[in-house]
Structure 1
């Protein structure tokens, strides 16, 4: 990566604090930064990377602070921006917020952190949990310099040695969000599943975990092509996963961080049948009143149940005197959102429910200017995945040989789930 220097600037371009890592750039070059940004802004060509002479500026803006990295080398730009965002993340952990005032109040601690985050232009320890073990929140130096935790010098920088629990447990959640757009005529215009495998790990020692999924590539390679499997796209892993092992034999092998983290995320750009189907009939009567009839039908298996369902139906901004009738749950008018919210606490599979609403419209109809926003739906279905992804096994290997309990849950929830109305 090789960053030459890091600068923190206020909104006027004045340097709040800086750190020269390699000594190969003139630190005065930062005086050119804000004028260059202003010129680009005036021309409508604002970009996060600015080339000026032999120097390259890469920057992000957080509240009233510019974080600027500069280099003279052909740096890995994606990695530089990742490090800048990591610096923000770490500083927010320490100061609650990263802004001009918090930097001025904590400049000694800022220098300490910058020295640990980056060494000679290369990223080092960027995990705030590890940093907080040997750089105290108050930034007070001990008389005897504290020994860095093993994670700093260890190959496994995201986990400390010597972690101990009386009860060894692993909780694994497969959470899928369904993004769906249905046209007014009932056609699915856009659908995708965005999934994540989230873990909470309470294990002693340095355990190795191996996770097996019903991965289509693996099943076809091992001659199990006809078995139900899922083709995962855009898979992103936590840094603890051994990528070479996954590329070789699709095994997800890792030494986990302690506590809560996201192991992986994925996407399936696939046709999804609407889990909760919405039909709407809206009758307008000569600018005086409007009536809604909303039918909701659950299109998943009877043994599953959607919890805390909210069906949000937009209404004209001049609607008043609401009246409701529901076959299940309750409806309420939320005037600040110009919407009816129909709440159904428990919506079993294969069920169909009705809601009727009546409003007066005292003024001239305003839909011609407002348009007709879509109905949106919120829900959560436990013990269910839309994609059919399954955890085949979760093995825990640790040299002391203790017994550990793995707990696996599946949850499907709404993402951007909308149904257009006629």
Structure 2
């Protein structure tokens, strides 16, 4: 399978990046492609289908992300799904490297995006390239910036950069083990940081009974160590994990974890999630209590929320960020509101209460009133009233999973090691009726 051109456009038609492999004038057809995209695809779920535009003898398959269009130009028969798999690979790399960002952010990193495209295609032929390798090339603070930091001020910069990249990407025989996600030549700041992040998934019915209750956790490492160090991470408890998956850097010593419950690995450069786990059958007690109240009175719907901070296992925690979204049936009009803290934003059939920080030992209240016509009121009472919570609690571990100790072998004698816990909402829903 060979393509003529790979391109990335902004949603206003500006060419952000491209590589031409054959057909030098193919780039000149991109304005016509953009015209047809605006006419037939803008405003649709094009990114959830397999959209293709035809211009004369060429096909233009593409995918979209935020205000970015990623596409290819092909003039020969190809396996369509294989090509879309490659486009989605590029899409996933950009999503992971620039989350919630626009084309303006990509413009600041065009040189790394170009190198990433060169790694994906060889004269128009897609190559088998691992996603995390591409991410390490293109993301801000990634491998390209590390190479630039390493060789800045030297002569033959371009030659040295290309040589180092070839070793890193192609995996030549003389490159040492683990080089697919580390550059031993780069000297780091001799720091390694860990985040144990737990996402709380809970669903409650109108009587407060728990329908779903589980924790999905992940351990992230931000490694800025030199050479090829080996890390040994000791967790305080692992027997409560119902399931787990690991980054490939742990696969060579997965028996160490299964036998001793110790994570042993050579860490990738930069930030990587090395371990995922799932916990079911555990009672989740967040450091707050959320009490909703729903009333139907004379063609009006009155809803009240009481949010109170509370200690967990004898210790108090501030909730660093708290948002509440209330979704209501259509046909309701927002009326009076009483709010002691935060801001209220009205959405379509919903309101968003941005509370901000919930301090220790504090409590806040929100009361809202909706009204409807008399003929719609009975239908509205049968509709769904849902509350979704979004929150972040630093230094808190719902499952009490923590990193007890980290050992670094083959590393610098003096280095910094730190670990912290963070709790976040996953899918946290309360059904009011």
1:8 matched to 2:7: yes
Aligned partner of residue 391 in structure 2, secondary structure:
strand
Matched with 2:314 is: 302
Q: Sort the Cα spacing of 1:182 and 1:59 in 2 relative to 1 into closer, same or farther, 3 A.
A: same
1:150 matched to 2:164: yes
Q: How big is the shift at 1:5?
A: 5.7
Of the three residues 362, 385, 408, the one matched with 2:419 is: 408
Aligned partner of residue 274 in structure 2, secondary structure:
strand
1:230 matched to 2:241: yes
* 389-398 or 62-71, which deviates more: 62-71
Q: 2: distance between equivalents of 1:268 and 1:90?
A: 28
Listed one character per residue, the Cα deviations across residues 99-141 of structure 1 (whole Å, up to 9, x for unaligned) are 9xx99xx8x99776533443464256632233456799xxxxx
Q: How big is the shift at 1:207?
A: 1.7
Q: How big is the shift at 1:307?
A: 2.0
Matched with 2:152 is: none
Matched with 2:333 is: 317
Matched with 1:67 is: 71
Unaligned runs of 5+ in 1: 137-141, 217-227, 325-329
Q: Larger helix proportion, structure 1 or 2?
A: 2
TM-score by length of 1: 0.64
Contact 1:214 1:230 in 2 (8 A): no
1:118 matched to 2:116: no
Aligned partner of residue 333 in structure 2, secondary structure:
coil
Q: 1: distance between equivalents of 2:255 and 2:51?
A: 33
Q: 2: distance between equivalents of 1:94 and 1:312?
A: 26
Matched with 1:273 is: 284
1:418 matched to 2:429: yes
Q: 2: distance between equivalents of 1:57 and 1:380?
A: 43
Q: How big is the shift at 1:184?
A: 0.5
Of the three residues 346, 352, 355, the one matched with 1:336 is: 346
Q: How big is the shift at 1:174?
A: 0.3
Larger Rg: 1
Q: 1: distance between equivalents of 2:303 and 2:103?
A: 53
Q: How big is the shift at 1:378?
A: 3.7
Q: How big is the shift at 1:165?
A: 5.2
Matched with 2:218 is: 196
Q: How big is the shift at 1:288?
A: 6.9
Q: 2: distance between equivalents of 1:341 and 1:91?
A: 25
Listed one character per residue, the Cα deviations across residues 66-97 of structure 1 (whole Å, up to 9, x for unaligned) are 42387858969867742554378789999745
For 1:77-116, what aligned pairs fall within 5 Å after superposition? 81-83=88-90, 85-86=92-93, 96=104, 114-116=117-119
Contact 1:88 1:98 in 2 (8 A): no
Q: How big is the shift at 1:183?
A: 0.7
Listed one character per residue, the Cα deviations across residues 234-290 of structure 1 (whole Å, up to 9, x for unaligned) are x252x5x14232267545333334443433334445554353443333345434784
Matched with 1:175 is: 197
Q: How big is the shift at 1:49?
A: 9.3
Listed one character per residue, the Cα deviations across residues 125-158 of structure 1 (whole Å, up to 9, x for unaligned) are 632233456799xxxxx98843135354144143
Q: How big is the shift at 1:385?
A: 2.1
Unaligned runs of 5+ in 2: 53-57, 150-154, 169-174
TM-score by length of 2: 0.63
Contact 1:179 1:416 in 2 (8 A): yes
Aligned partner of residue 346 in structure 2, secondary structure:
helix
Of the three residues 221, 230, 252, the one matched with 1:244 is: 252
Q: How big is the shift at 1:359?
A: 5.7
1:130 matched to 2:143: yes
Aligned partner of residue 159 in structure 1, secondary structure:
coil
Q: 2: distance between equivalents of 1:18 and 1:163?
A: 29
Q: How big is the shift at 1:409?
A: 0.9
Q: 2: distance between equivalents of 1:94 and 1:354?
A: 38
1:213 matched to 2:213: no
Of the three residues 372, 377, 381, the one matched with 2:393 is: 381
Contact 2:5 2:20 in 1 (8 A): yes
Q: What is the Cα-based RMSD across aligned positions, in Å?
A: 5.5
Q: 2: distance between equivalents of 1:194 and 1:281?
A: 29
Q: How big is the shift at 1:173?
A: 1.0
